[in-house]
Amino acid sequence: MIDTRKITMKKENQEYLWKLRHSCEHVLTQAMHRLYGADKVVMAMGPATDDGFYFDFEVKGVKISEENFPAIEAEMQKIIAEALPIVRKEIEVAAARELFKDNPYKQEWLDEIETAKQGATVYWIGDQFVDLCKGPHVDNTNEIKAFKLLSVAGAYWRGDEHNQMLVRVYGTAFPSEKELKDYLFMREEALKRDHKKLGKELDLFTFSNLVGAGLPLWTPKGTLIRNLLDEYVWQLRKAKGYEKVTIPHITKRDLYETSGHWAKYENDLFKINTREGHEFAMKPMNCPHHTQIYNHVPRSYKDLPQRYAETTMVYRDEQTGELSGLSRVRCITQDDAHVFCRESQLNDEMLAIWDIIETFYKATGFPKLAVRLSLHDPAKMENYLGNEEDWQKWEDGLRNLAKSKGVEYTEEQGEAAFYGPKIDFMAYDSIGREWQVATIQADRNMPKNFDLFCINEKSEEERIVMVHAAIMGSIERFMSILIEHHYGAFPVWLAPVQAVILPINDSHLAYAEEIGAQAKEMGLRVAIADSNESLSKKIRTAQMEKVPYMLVVGNKEVEDKVVAVRKRGEKEQSIVSAEEFWQNLKQQVDNKS
């Protein structure tokens, strides 16, 4: 399913939207049962999502496709018009087992509920339909005002390719027809811009069944863009005093047990057992390794800040059903950096990172970022390291930092990392979708866990603070956002081919090669369309490849030593000397304009 945007609204409205979609998902299932029978469309599971909802069914003896949607939607409208109450009931697990005795998927959920020694919760719609569900839901089906079924896909039960293949029906729901209409328009735009489609058309990356799902393979063009982005981040960091470090891709579990990551993320790790009986893990993050670089020698306060930067892959055992192009993968390239500093240096270090973020996103086409303070949830302190008093103090520090920048910001409870609050930067793409991109995280817990300190002016051990700084975060995910934001038409400095020279026929090829060589000597990326195709075909190819500039050369251009320049997206041509054009192009690249 295409991601559109994260709905930005008041928390209570967002919670209601979630309930509305969850309820619509149950209405979908009830309609499927009415139309095809519960024995032929066996309900498995389905959640509400940021974009709508989906539900997975085991289908027997019938075919479910988008051609069925009008009939299913009509039946859903009948259920909504019947104004059926949606009622929550708590029952014993034994009673739930009897209620869903013919459904192996519900029985599996009940196994987990029973193991956790919990009671079962069911929701009834009227007196004819019931599902095992935690909720919450709206009170009545007539609260569902606007919905739409979107697509059908295959999905393995619980995302495991060894399990039964199910039919997944996607849909969405909104409180009003206008919101639904706006969403559907945006969805159509998102489909056009889908990075999976554009990535193939522009030859940027590919996937292989032999390599595995969630493991992208980057072509020369895609690798070029990745490297340009990473090199620019490094250029900005180097100017702020960062140094490069390198760490291995595996580690003993002891490292993550000390950091606290093992207890929290054990099920997300790729584990390796050696023949000597040691247990290792493919690294899912880099920060614990970097603590060991800091701690390998005694540190004086005069040595601080220590600023480490590294672009490297980390690995997470994501479920197959949750993978999506570059947006969610199993190998994640992080442009990671960590600063080890004193509390008195913290604000300056965080502001320096803030400067890097603003500069980078302006150059990549996101001139304005929104700021979100991601805070802990006081009602769920068991999810965090540290105590409530410390968290309140740390979060006040981030508020003061944001105020010192003079920016407006929002706050979101429950979005903090388990070791500390963070400043998240939100980008809005060209069709209005919101994406969380860069982040700055202040961490006092990991220095405590690893006993990181410096020797201060009084020759005493002073606990330090650790700053986590990601500019792109995941390069894969950022590339997916970048591709869709620009519709594949990258800024000149990032375009794999910055200009293509189009000789009208073979007699103009020598001149094309002559001026192409001039451009390459200046470090510009230029191609020559030297095929025997017509000029119009060459132009169409360059347009499809979204090359920023086309330079047509014919008899007149060869005679006058000029080029006829057409800019991407424009029909008009301008006549300039090749030298002047290359100088102007070089300036655009250098200025990242």
341 is catalytic: no
- For the chain, give the longest Cα–Cα distance: 90
**Marked catalytic residue, from 306, 334, 436, 441:** 334
Q: Which CATH number characterizes residue 130's domain?
A: 3.30.980.10
315 Cβ contact partners less than 8 Å away, ≥ 6 residues apart: 249, 270, 282, 283, 284, 330, 331, 332
Q: ω into residue 136 within 30 of 0, thus cis?
A: yes
Same domain, 539 and 428: no
Q: Do the domain assignments include residue 555?
A: yes
**Do both 164 and 222 map to the same domain?**
no
End-to-end Cα distance, the chain? 33
Residue 492 lies in a domain: no
Report the 10 Å Cβ neighbour count for 71.
12
CA angle 524, 530, 532 (to 5 degrees): 160
Residues 470 and 387 in one domain: yes
Same structural domain, 350 and 316: yes
Strand positions, DSSP E, 488-593: 499-503, 526-528, 549-553, 562-567, 573-577
Instruction: Please name the residue that has the structure tokens 């991407």.
Output: 568
Residue 394 lies in a domain: yes
Q: Rg (Cα) of the chain, in Å, rounded?
A: 28
CATH code: domain of residue 538: 3.40.50.800
Question: Are 482 and 507 in a shared domain?
Answer: no
Residues pairing with 313 in the sheet: 333
Q: Do the strands 243-244 and 306-315 form a parallel or antiparallel pair, or are they unpaired?
A: parallel
* CB 476, CB 326: distance < 8 Å: yes
Which of 422, 477, 485, 525 is an active site residue?
Answer: 422
Q: Which among 160, 187, 214 is the end of a domain?
A: 187
Whether 586 is covered by a domain: the verdict is yes
User: Which amino acid belongs to residue 393?
Assistant: K
Q: Which residues contact 134 (CB under 8 A, 6 or more apart)?
A: 121
Q: Which of 567, 431, 438, 565 is nearest to 487 (CA)?
A: 431
Nearest C-alpha neighbor of 532 from the set 511, 509, 549, 562: 509
Q: What CATH number should be reported for the domain holding residue 314?
A: 3.30.930.10
Active-site option among 316, 376, 485, 538: 316
Residues 509 and 577 occupy one common structural domain: yes
Q: Is 334 a catalytic residue?
A: yes
What distance in Å separates the CA atoms of residue 395 and residue 381, rounded to the nearest whole number?
Answer: 14
In a domain, residue 493? The reply is: no
- The 3-state DSSP class for residue 230 equals helix
| 159 and 218 fall within a common domain | no
161 with 243, same domain: the answer is no
Examine the residue annotation and report whether 422 is marked as an active-site residue of this protein: yes
Active site residue 287: yes
Residues 570 and 448 reside in one and the same domain: no
Bridge partners of 521, per DSSP, are none
Burial class (CB within 10 angstroms; exposed 0-12, middle 13-18, buried 19+) of 325: buried
Distance CA 204, CA 587 (A): 26
With CA atoms as reference, report the closest residue to 4 among 45, 47, 52.
52
32 and 173 belong to one structural domain? yes
- Catalytic residue (one of 468, 485, 525, 546): 468
Q: Which range marks the domain in which residue 550 is found?
A: 499-591
Of 486, 512, 531, which one is at a domain's C-terminal end?
A: 486
Which member of 30, 131, 133, 287 is catalytic? 287
* pLDDT for the residue numbered 12: 59
DSSP one-letter string for 253-276? HHHHHHHTHHHHHGGG--EEE-TT
Per-residue pLDDT of the chain (593 residues; tens, 9 = 90+): 334 434 344 555 888 999 999 999 999 999 999 999 999 999 999 999 888 999 999 999 999 999 999 999 999 999 999 999 999 999 999 999 999 999 999 999 999 999 988 889 999 999 989 999 988 999 999 999 999 999 999 989 988 888 999 999 999 999 999 999 999 998 899 899 999 999 999 999 999 999 999 999 999 999 999 999 999 999 999 999 999 999 999 999 999 999 888 887 888 899 999 888 889 999 999 999 999 999 999 999 999 999 999 999 999 998 887 889 999 999 999 999 999 999 999 999 999 999 999 999 999 999 999 999 999 999 899 888 888 989 999 999 999 999 999 999 999 999 998 888 999 999 999 988 899 999 999 999 899 999 999 999 999 999 999 999 999 989 999 999 999 999 999 999 999 999 999 999 999 999 999 999 999 999 999 999 998 899 999 999 999 999 999 999 999 999 999 999 999 999 899 999 999 999 999 999 999 98
Burial of 59 (0-12, 13-18, 19+ CB in 10 A): middle
CA distance 290 to 305: 14
Same domain for 434 and 554, yes or no, is no
Q: Which of 336, 424, 429, 443 is the catalytic position?
A: 336
DSSP-assigned letter for residue 431: T
In a domain, 444, yes or no: yes
> In sequence order, what DSSP letters do the residues of 510-534 get, joined into one string?
HHHHHHHHHHHHTT--EEE--SSS-
C-beta of residue 53 within 8 angstroms of C-beta of residue 172: yes
Q: Which of 452, 486, 520 corresponds to the end of one domain?
A: 486
* Whether residue 338 lies in the annotated active site: yes
Task: Tell me the two tokens of residue 136.
Answer: 């919450």
Q: Is residue 491 situated within a structural domain?
A: no
Structural domains counted in the chain: 3
Q: Which of 158, 307, 338, 546 is catalytic?
A: 338
For this structure, is 336 an active site residue?
yes
pLDDT at site 117: 85
Report the alpha-carbon distance of residue 22 to residue 53 in Å, rounded. 7
Burial 2-22 (b: 16+ CB within 10 A, else e): bbbbeeeeeeeeeebbbbbbb
The residue among 157, 100, 108, 94 whose CA lies nearest residue 130 is 100
What pLDDT sits at residue 158?
87
442 with 510, same domain: the answer is no
Check: CB of residue 307 under 8 Å from CB of residue 241: yes
E strands, 262-380, where? Answer: 271-273, 279-282, 306-315, 331-341, 369-375
Q: Count other Cβ atoms within 10 Å, centred on residue 127.
A: 9
In a domain, 481, yes or no: yes
Omega before 248 cis (within 30°)? no
Give residue 10's pLDDT.
Answer: 53
Crossing angle (nearest 10°) for helices 69-81 and 11-36: 110
189 CB-near residues (< 8 Å, 6+ apart): 431
